[in-house]
């Protein structure tokens, strides 16, 4: 089996926490990682995701780490994310080349969220918390994939078929590699 690198988005964590149907495939991939057959990594960008419908925005990176620890994944590598003031955690991000960052993040945003404002200032100050949540989740999706592309990984594993897999052709042109659900990623790895 060729050593492949996989990147799990935050939905993979949620699927395991909720014991969703894809959790079995996700656990299989984690097992293959622990056997050194593949490498699975998480994303520091996920620490900036909305933690739940009621919890609001994360205040500390330790809340993210605690959730990872709870499902037994403390041994997985976590890929640093591009540093953005107010959205990422110090020590859990990297400084970007601004030209490359601006080009790739704009291309990713335009591909994934064509009709969604890229700049949070496009919302009025009285925009709803729901709008703010949607914007933050969109930002996290773009930066998760940016990180995956930046580190030249082979397969982005997500349950978000609408935003990622339905746009896979253009995202591959931007360097995404494979974009697969956990079940399809298992088949791809074992294939």
**For 168, left (φ over 0), alpha (ψ -120 to 50), or beta?**
alpha
Q: What's the gap between Cα 168 and its chain centre?
A: 15
pLDDT at 176: 95
Domains of the chain and CATH, by start: 4-190 (3.40.50.1010)
Rounded Cα distance, 12 and 20, in Å = 10
Residues 6+ apart with CB under 8 A from 167: 111, 112
pLDDT by residue for the chain (191 residues), tens digit each? 578 999 999 899 999 999 999 999 999 999 999 999 999 999 887 766 655 543 455 567 777 788 889 999 999 998 888 877 666 667 777 787 788 888 988 899 899 988 777 776 665 555 666 777 777 788 788 889 999 999 999 999 999 887 787 788 889 999 999 999 999 999 999 98
Rounded Cα distance, 2 and 173, in Å = 23
pLDDT at 53: 45
* HSE of 58, CA atoms in CB hemisphere, 13 A: 23
Using CB atoms within 10 Å of the CB of residue 13, give its burial: 0 to 12 exposed, 13 to 18 middle, 19+ buried. Answer: buried
pLDDT at 91: 72
pLDDT at 64: 78
Q: Are strands 155-157 and 4-8 parallel, antiparallel or unpaired?
A: parallel
pLDDT at 160: 87
């Amino acid at each position: 089996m060729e050593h492949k690198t996989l990147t799990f988005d935050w939905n993979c964590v949620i699927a395991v926490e909720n014991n969703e149907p894809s959790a079995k495939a996700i656990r299989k991939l984690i097992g293959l990682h622990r056997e050194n057959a593949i490498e699975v990594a998480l994303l520091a960008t996920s620490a900036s995701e909305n933690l739940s419908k009621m919890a609001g925005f994360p205040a500390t990176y330790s809340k993210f780490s605690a959730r990872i620890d709870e499902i037994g994944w403390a041994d997985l590598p976590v890929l640093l994310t591009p540093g953005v003031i107010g959205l990422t955690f110090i020590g859990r991000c990297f400084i970007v080349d601004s030209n490359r960052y601006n080009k790739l993040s704009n291309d990713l945003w335009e591909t994934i969220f064509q009709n969604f404002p890229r700049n949070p200032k496009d919302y009025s100050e009285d925009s709803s918390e729901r709008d703010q949540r949607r914007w933050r989740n969109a930002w996290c999706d773009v930066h998760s994939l940016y990180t995956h592309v930046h580190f030249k990984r082979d397969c982005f594993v997500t349950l978000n078929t609408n935003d990622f897999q339905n746009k896979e052709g253009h995202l591959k042109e931007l360097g995404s590699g494979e974009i697969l659900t956990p079940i399809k990623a298992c088949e791809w790895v074992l294939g």
